[in-house]
Structure 1
Amino acid sequence: MEGTAGPGTRANGPVPAPSGNQVPPPPGPPLAPEQLEEEQPSSLADVSQMWIKFAKTFAIVFPIYILGYFEFSFSWVLIGLAMLFYWRKNHGSKDYRINRALAFLDHKDTAARQSLPATELPPWVHYPDVERVEWLNKTVKQMWPFICQFVDKLFRETIEPAVKGANPHLSSFCFTKVDMGDKQPLRVNGVKVYTENVDKRQVIMDLQISFVGNTEIDIDIKKFYCRAGIKSIQLHGMLRVVMEPLLGDMPLIGALSVFFLKKPMLDINWTGLTNMLDIPGVNGLCDGLIQDIIYSYLVLPNRLNIPLVGATELARIRFPIPEALVRIHFIEAQNLLGKDRFLGIKGKSDPYGLIRLGTKEIKSKTIKETVNPRWNEVHEFLMYDNTAKMMEIELFDEDPDEDDRLGNVMIDLAELKKEQRVEEWFDLEDGGRGKLHLKMEWLCLLPSPEKLDQALLQIGAKSSSAPDGPSSAVLVVFLDSARNLSRNPLEFNQTGLRKASISKAIKSGKKVTSDPSPMVQFRVGHQSLDSKIKYKTTEPVWEEHFTFLIHNPKNQKLDVEVKDTKHECSLGKLDLPLTRLLEAEDMTLSQRFPLKTIGPSCTLKMKMALRVLSLEKIPTSPSTSTPSSVQVRKSSDPPSPQRPACLRPPSQTSPAPPPPPSRTCPTGGTNRSPQAGVGGGAGGQSLAETGKSKSYLAISGSQQFLNGGKEPTPSIASDISNPYSAQELHQRLQQLPNGSGSSNSPLGSIQLTIRYSTQRNRLIVVVHACRNLIAFTDHGSNPYARLYLLPDKRRSGRRKTHTHKKTQNPKFDESFDFSVTLIELRSRNLDVAVKNSGGLLSRHKGLLGKVLLDLNHEDITKGWTQWYDLTVEGKPRP
């Protein structure tokens, strides 16, 4: 990491103690003038030294003159010499050693000052602030028995199998005893944490450790009758722990680096066969080999790295890139409730929509006085790993006092991710009426510049168009840090400062030069984002990420400006065309960018990535893919052979013959749902006209939207309560040209999709179509489908489709749900009946066929689509 102060650096971190094999530093700079004055004596000092020497000489000669003047014997001279020699013999050597030591210290201090300037001295030279941590030693003492248990398991369960597997001759190797000692042998004598001259994204800590214990580790190789072991271990040294990089998410630390600053003192007492290593001569060689092994792993520049976060996870935390982008075309709605009343008469509404995904909420425009609004808006949401997987769309009627609710739709984004693209009409739930037309796309972010032209073509972007509209790419920016920001805004940014600020500073007489409080502003087109403010610093560290939606990266650029909020001026600017990212490797740039200033060189460290939006897969044809609740497929297609057969044995289900040509005709009114295919070209066509089915990404309400909000006229004779319906159907079967013909499925068949949603605890049933129904009149039948989840036969538990007129091959494509738990569902049956509709007094109404399905099936949560043969009683034919 650039700008990180490693343990071995001097300018940006503590300086480790030099080891014995390091090369001595070169001579430092010359002494300062004041130091030269201290070394060279002045003329006054020379005169003083001369007088001192004269006094010493006089003190020696004058006693001799006194001895001669008073006629003392020569023996007194011999006595004086003997006393002098005796004093020098006992005290002179001590004074000599003291003088040599003082001279050595003076010389060492001078050499240190010459080799290392005072600005580069580590903090402990001036301030010995090593702290005692008795609380840590007490904690280790309390935990020591459990540490011993962990070490014992480590030796026996990890190291012992590894040694046995390393060599066949060591297959009988085992640890007979692993005892770390009953008393705490490990102590931390001092701790120092560095807070100055270190990078802000790391923590450096020095531990003075001491391990002195009666550790006993015995091994036995039974094959060679070899027993050896260790009786005691002593270890003393300075251990450095570096924690970097610091993160904003748990576990807050990316990795640990552990190493000794210099060679630790190690003493091992051997036992058993290895006791021979204590022989003089061999002892030093053995200890030296063991120490070299330890030094090769744990002494600077070697270190033990312990990652706490994986490389992929670390990159994701530091530089999160969205998983995908969800694009929603908020098109239109039909037949909404009229909430505005005038004189008690229902009128129209002023509808608008709210789209919620996670913490983001977007409001559409309001369409005045209509129940069939048309918005034609496009909204985009970025999806991260922790983004909510459900999207809610609510419609409201805007009122001056309180907005009235018109209904909502819940979108399962997991289903959208599978389908990639869905366009259809959704039924409003929670008391709402009407339908909502949406088109949704799940776009993946790819580092593929060759897919950009395709993305631009899909959104209709032109090289000369304004940077508005749907996005073709996403720009992710990680703002790291800045260096060498100016401290004098008047010197380099005179035009950028406010006149009021200048005059105020001049009048007050205060210094304008001071540390700035910088922030960074990013602009792409009309989008603008600001970073946090870092107060009073010339080297701020932000570590923030920003995301921009890009319309056309070929003609857009990223504008970056560093501002000083304290002096209200600009500290530097940067213009980066996005075409540089298109040409970069993996469409990513990570470097220090120079800022445009007229002052000193300022740099801004950033990492940027451009990702192109593209569909991960092209929606396949329904005939070759597995049907699902979101898939756009034709109702006339036969079921996929890979789909589970049905709830009954496969032998009881006849193969589906090719469907006959559709003879359906469109019904009048606005209750027909406009069909939207994958490409969205169907527009307002009816389902019968297009011949396609809807894919229900949202779970519709229990009552399907019908014409005018009313249900079709129900049949008076229920096929469950009145056995006459079954008798009449038997009679009609006998009147068919082929007789009963039960083996040829004379009543036709119905296509159903059945799936259970565990998220919502609902059974989803989609009625797609029927084929080869019997005709009640010469013009055909007026069929509709009725559903019950037995044993519930109440009116509130009934589900019905709308009625198709004069057809024997209707296409319904309607979805229904039943609120039921999965456990309760195992004991329920689904009753589906196809009936002919008629007037209140009409005789052309009755049962066309039934299907009874047992829902106790393991694959019901996965769902399937299948054709089922209609029978009189609903039971499968033998």
Structure 2
Amino acid sequence: MYRALAFFEQEERNVQQSLTSSDLPSWVNFPDVERVEWLNKTVRQMWPYICQFVEKLLRETIEPAVKGANSHLSTFCFSKIDMGDKPLRINGVKVYTENVDKRQIIMDLQISFVGNTEIDVDVKRYYCKAGIKSIQLHGVLRVVMEPLLGDMPLVGALSLFFLKKPLLEINWTGLTNILDIPGLNGFSDSLIQDIIYSYLVLPNRITIPLVGDIELAQLRFPMPKGVLRIHFLEAQDLEGKDKFLGGLIKGKSDPYGVLQIGNQLFQSKTVKESLHPKWNEVYEALVYEHSGQHLEIELFDEDPDKDDFLGSLMIDMTELHKEQKVDEWFDLEEVSSGKLHLKLEWLSLLSTPEKMDQVLRSVRADRSLANDGLSSALLVVYLDSAKNLPSDRFNFNHDVLKQASVYKSLKSGKKTSSEPSPYVYFTVGNKSFESKIRYKTNEPMWEEAFSFLVHNPRRQELEVEVKDDKHKCTLGNLTVPLSGLLEEEDMTFTQQFSLRNSGPSSTLKLKLALRVLCLEKQTSASDQLSSVQVRKASEVKPTVPSQRLSASESPLPPAYTTPTPPMEASTHSLHRREERKEEPSTSNLSTTISNSQKHLPHKDSMASLASDISLPFATQELQQRLRQLQNGSAPSPYPLGEIQLTVRHSSQRNKLIVVVHACRNLIAFTKDGSDPFVRVYLLPDKSRTGRRKTSTIKKTLNPVYDQTFEFSVSMVELHRRTLDIAVKNGGSILSKHRGLLGKVIVDLSGEDISKGWTQW
């Protein structure tokens, strides 16, 4: 891998020496995702000091918090903290220039950390020692700099968060010792990950103020950009996965859908024995960042053992935000057949109470007395702090005291700790949230935010209960009618509320904001065509057997006259360079085109490319390349282009390592080029978690990625697996410029992958 990277860097230096800046194409000077080796060199230089900061954070912040979280951990301490000498690496940076507020800068950092970390912990009370041997972290970290100022330091604050859960792997030592400690039998690797996600994954974020007068709460807990209402309606022509008589008879499927936006996950009901299921379900998801986020949908066939994959879909939230309303059939990806009917509505957040009655009528909340149904408003609750919570045993709420553990202590005469461990329980309708616990304090500071989708704010209330986790009793409660927010300026107010059934001066400080959910684009799909190009079932003509034509014999047919091809026929092939020598190749790289066709006009690839993208510019370019190939004037024998890969297996870590270096001579989807990205599967796993994807490089036919992906697989299992690598155009699902640029199948059974290889 390092040799390949060094080769690319040397080639880049040679090109820059021989060409002036004006001679280079724009994607070299201004790529969408930029390589930032200067930043990696800076991080490498700063790494020892970053490690010092992490050690200080662990000892001064994390260690006291762990000690106070559980009485069994009162002797917890870090005995060794070594972050290792391998610094975090930034594989690329994307800076957003469209749909961004003028007073902010938004950038995405593709980070990768494979550290030889050693962190040891000691719980002396139980003579327990455990630790972390290594950590791996891979994900996209968003950095938001806002507000931009006219004075130094020019930026008011930094906000850091992951748009979706990063890939995190922790190699533990002595984990079983921790599980033996009383009260920690629920401790697990996933629990630690969930704790990290609760601080760093959207909508959670870390905000670092750079000047003193910035309103930190507004930056840490910004209002969502909008709400996406998803009508998950029906599907057609799904694959039949249930088979009988040893696979001789194909049956039907039991399909269900999994939908995800950020860390919000929805699962539909299962429709039994159907290839044309109807769900007719509606979900509502908060969208905090429409740039860079996607609605991801996967369909599965429910089985008793392992559910089968039925197709997937990924919709760019930026395009959806522009469209506002979409009602379309979408072709499912990664499968030979199947399409999904969705109705998607972008709901804007308005602080105008005049719109409330109109929205209530549209969701029929004005007629129904129920508290569930489609939402008409969004309530955001900012929990700030509490003061003078009851700490003396005589100030506890005696209405619920008899149910509390402290009551038994009082009756027995035992000494009780006076300081409560409070948390707050919020409820609106059928939805509830709990705040974090603040240990041993009667004046806790939370600084947390919670969002509720509200059916009818004219009737519903926010119920608040302050509880004591230590004594298992209520410290006070209050009720806030949401109708009062409609009368407030900007439908927002901040107040120090007096608690009922609490101490004489116990208060809770809350900030409440209500926003009306409004569909601003009211035109129907029939009134205005969207940019979605979908092949309807009625438009697909029956398959007519015909003799295949070469590029020189017939023009390419338009897509709507082309039947949907099976999976084998619709794959395009990127070719590996033929070795000039007669020795066996260093890899066994197979493509979907046979060897006898590699230097002939690629009729199957040409036809399938046309049926897949249906773009005149792309098909004309392919025809031109094929004609050049026929008359011997082609610059390359591979009309769809090439991809450079490094493939290696690490037996020590049981990992398959795939490095996607670059592509060259790809087909241009438009006159501006293509927006290619690379998708990698280790077959037969085609689940969401098994998918790896590079960044999208805009407007280029020769993208450079240099991105590394890993798959957990043993050497024995590896010989039964296959790499499926596809190069795709990164247009959104709402764009007609999406499609497959080419595909490579890498057979891993015939070689010693542990030695590794790098080649086109």
TM-score, with normalisation over the residues of structure 2?
0.47
Rg larger for: 1
Q: Which structure dedicates a bigger proportion of its chain to strand?
A: 2
Larger RCO (CA under 8 A, 6+ residues apart): 2
TM-score, with normalisation over the residues of structure 1?
0.41
